[in-house]
Structure 1
């Protein structure tokens, strides 16, 4: 792995240790990721409980805006972000497979300092990491400021205490509540950003990218008669390990929740730009988040689809070069690589199908409203 990527990983783990949201840490002696001891993990569970309570409050806040579609859409988006973040970080008990996959990716890719020697997919993932890190700091800060000075926003937890146009009517401690809620908003959103960067980008996206690049290298070596048919099993082993730690939680949550968030945020951004409130900054912020989500979904689904398509094409092509009976039996036992989410897997047309669905649903929502 590139030295810059390792530094980004170390920095994210330090922040995760500071905000008590990751059950793992960086072992500077062995230069690898290790699971924290049960005593060191004692702060992770309370943070998860606080996140769960905040998510329930977010879900309840959706029912507080029955007459205003825009306010309800903003409340839905906030609930989606908290729900997706909770599902991603719900690593109880700690999945050692995810730690092993990330350590394997780090030691399997030789560190490089030259940009030309780094695969393009890793450069795109690094760009996504920078974007998420920047947004993961600015957005919680803005939400904290809004929670103090404009607590009536439906995207905030403070909206639960907003009644008849007044925040905590008849009370003298409203500013204390605003300050506490701003701190909670900031900490929880930073936790979501840190855990998402680790589980979604570092583990899942880099695992998919590693499998894709390794599969391309194997096919190239096989075509040059530098690799044997049995070496394909090494790819199958890594595929099984990656699926075991992403299929039921990380990939499933992203495959279902992120497109839903993309639909809602597209609807909100377009409605804000077309409204008469002249809130261009808020609309631009939602539009920036929308582009980030599209960028992420395209990398996630396109990378997984390329892995399946590349392995399937190679299997259908390599059977014509088989000369021995043993190789023919081995070839018949091989299956294409599949990156799974739940009981489904990503194939060639999945990225286009997902984007078409998101666009259709967003347009339908705009036409109905």
Structure 2
């Protein structure tokens, strides 16, 4: 890590580095962090290191990174690797939920979900259990905690279902476990998982490219644990995420467990949890989560009504930086979602691109992102 700089020459020695005038050591400390030319091409692309060398900024390892050759990506473990018991308020520090699908009452789909467990969205997921089931019961696994997008406690119940998309399929909750790759490497993994009612997982990079996909797990009392494996999977330096897509179709309860480690194939010390410290994050992975709703002709109230409203797939959204430059463009999927992930800390504006026959009362939203936060923004369109 380069959090502290130790100078390797005395006050009478000249320290050289590529592409700039040679400072002597007494003057070097004042220049730490000043831009310099790391490869002699005339571009100021680097930073002076503790050996008076100019190195490219891409080679700097943030202080928040705890480089390792192995990461435990299990659901429901704390910062020390201990399992988090099911309890009210038991938040997983690593797994997050990226979205809030429209919810309907499990007993009467024409009515909205009225479960007291549904709280304002902040991305937290919780360690929970179904009526005190043992660690081999329901979707529990020994060594992992079962997680849900709501604070359901040790004897959870939910009683709501996910609304359906235009294909007649339930819109899933999308969970994410982010991690950092600081140097190009390859990884091996073999994860086991279960979920109620249905779940599968993907490994994605910061541009939402899917690199590996798990089998699908459909819950029943007789369904065995599912396995997802890969060997020597190449991962260039970037921010990555395991994402799980959990469907709830049975209303009573929902949850999933995920167990296993990811290791670098050759033992490279190149991967890290996306921790935060006082000097920043290991890798910046703020996310803007889009949900797009198409309201019915008589229900333009900026609230989802399952009887009249629909999920807005195939709509385009733009992300603008603080200088009003468009930096990202995305199109909502069949579930009306798009996730702008891997964003640096800062202020952003999100803009909907209108389609013929529709209008919006709100066409832009502004968010401030920091410390790997997740901001959920719902856009509503009404027919002309």
TM-score, length of structure 2 as denominator length: 0.21
Higher helix share: 1
Higher strand share: 2
| Higher RCO (CA-CA < 8 Å; seq separation 6+) | 1
TM-score, length of structure 1 as denominator length: 0.21
